[in-house]
Amino acid sequence: MVIPYQCLVARNSPTPNGSDWIIVGASGSRIVIQSHNGAISTWPEQHAQSRDQEDDGAQERPGKRIRLEQPKEQKSNFSSLVLSNDGQYLVGVTGEDKTIRVFQIDRQNHLRQLSERCMSRRPSSITLTSDDSTILCADKFGDVYALPLLPSPDDDKVEQSETPAIEQPEEKEWLPSATALTVHSGRNRKTLEEQLKQKAKGPAKSKEPMRFKHDLLLGHVSMLTDIVCTKVDGRSYIITADRDEHIRISRGQPQAHIIEGFCFGHEAFISRLCLTPSGRLVSGGGDEHLFVWNWQNYYLSEKLSIKHSVWAYLETLPGQSYLGYLSYESFKIAISGIWNLPSSEPNRIGEEIVVACEGIPALFRFFTTGIGLRVSGGTYIPLSGNALDVAVMGILPASSTMVVSIDNIHKPGSTTEAREDKVSRLQIFSQQQDGQWQEDASMEDALKSFADQGLDEQVERASDDGKAVRDMLYNMENLRKRPGAED
């Protein structure tokens, strides 16, 4: 089984007859890209047959499938993809090796890797500045770094010359002072066991210095979960969110150390930030509500109960299998994505957003106005599986297409149970004149080859009944603090 696309991004280039578009998806450690003319390429490039094999292809057994294997050196899964504003570059993060990779997209829409830079801490979110010159990287340690999108050859020389090797003194072997005979409580005994396990692993390895140009801009005291940047009246801002319910507004470079203010109100972790075209900030995470902010003045415009919308949708499903063992009070959600959607009415004031929740087979629609967030008609878009990511493409001047990545491995509504039926990894919707979204069979045919591409080797490496794939697809709920964790 081909694993789903955990990341999707799209680029649109308007033309008089519509638009030229490309869509990019990450399936495990493989990137697949398709253009409007149907051409498909992958990274790492699949091992093609030799010309002799192609010439003798008619003599081979019909339907023979060549086993494609990925290079041994590339086994990290992509956790994030970002396209540059001009559509010429793609930035991807591979989580296991903490590496930021920059690709160039040529005229044939092939990917050519330009650089790979390993961060000292695992990146949790990345974005690009408005001029496409700088990558802003937020990591799980709470720091934000700035890296040039296209490093110059002199950058590495400068960094290496500024970080000379320092001979470290030999450290003495550490031994815990307590023993099993002197520990009398269960809690202390458990602590001693952890210390002995850590000692058995040996001394901690020192982190490799980042030998490339980078600037530390700002830091939180908690894990960062998302980062966005914007420019207002000629001044740039960096907006960051963390696990400890904080949204911080900082100035952009070179004054990122200046904190303009905070947006307080969340009571659980924040997982996603979204800036609307009108300049409002929408945030969500483990709370029961979406929050809409006037972030320049640091006050909350409105709250909307996303939990109520999700619960109402699940109640409409046959058998209510998702809610059989839950009460409304104990039901919790974790927002995994917030996206802007273009309006089908050019003169309409406001903008539409769509929200995905982890492990929920639907998207939830809301409409922003000048005074806050309002529920739009329809309220939700049912899906054939759990929503993983969304990419929006403008196909015609008066219409748009929304491509939704579907989890084809787990049952709808579950993040652990394997599904038995087969389903496409993509669902495509087109916006109608009345503003509603309907499935588009023609675009499903156009993207069928894209939907079939990806990695099927990854599932074989997933141990513990697919735990590796599950951890790659679902990690928002892990941000929720356990009872007593604050103490």
**The token pair that represents 190 in the structure block:** 């458990």
- Asked whether the beta carbons of 81 and 125 are under 8 A apart, the reply is no
**The token pair that represents 219 in the structure block:** 């830091």
The tens-digit pLDDT sequence of the chain (487 residues) is 789 999 999 987 655 455 678 999 999 999 999 988 888 999 997 543 333 344 444 444 443 333 333 444 457 899 999 999 888 999 999 988 999 999 999 888 899 999 999 999 999 999 999 999 999 999 999 999 999 999 887 765 544 444 444 454 555 566 666 676 666 676 677 777 777 776 666 655 556 688 899 999 999 999 999 999 999 999 999 999 999 999 999 999 999 999 999 999 999 999 999 998 888 899 999 999 999 999 999 999 888 889 999 999 988 887 655 666 678 888 999 999 999 887 655 555 567 899 999 999 999 998 776 555 555 545 899 999 999 999 988 654 456 889 999 999 999 988 988 898 999 999 999 988 777 889 999 889 999 999 998 877 545 444 455 788 899 999 999 999 877 555 4
Find the largest Cα–Cα distance for the chain: 81
Q: How far is CA 130 from CA 80, 200, 301, in A?
A: 18, 49, 26
**The token pair that represents 204 in the structure block:** 């901690």
pLDDT at 63: 37
Give 264-321 as a DSSP string: ---SS-EEEEEE-TTS-EEEEESSSEEEEEETTTTEEEEEEEHHHHHHHHHHTSGGGT
- Terminal Cα distance for the chain, rounded: 44
**Cα–Cα distance, 117 to 115 (Å, whole number):** 7
**Cα–Cα distance, 432 to 324 (Å, whole number):** 36
- Asked whether the beta carbons of 25 and 390 are under 8 A apart, the reply is no
Q: What is the CA radius of gyration of the chain?
A: 24
How would you classify residue 293: left for phi > 0, otherwise alpha for psi between -120 and 50, otherwise beta?
beta
How would you classify residue 191: left for phi > 0, otherwise alpha for psi between -120 and 50, otherwise beta?
alpha
Set out the domains of the chain in order of their start, with CATH numbers.
7-46+74-153+209-479 (2.130.10.10)
Q: What angle do CA 302, 308, 311 make, to 5 degrees?
A: 155
The amino acid sitting at 208 is E
**Cα–Cα distance, 133 to 148 (Å, whole number):** 6
**Cα–Cα distance, 143 to 227 (Å, whole number):** 11
What's the number of CA atoms in the CB half-sphere (13 Å) around residue 214? 20
**Cα–Cα distance, 88 to 111 (Å, whole number):** 10
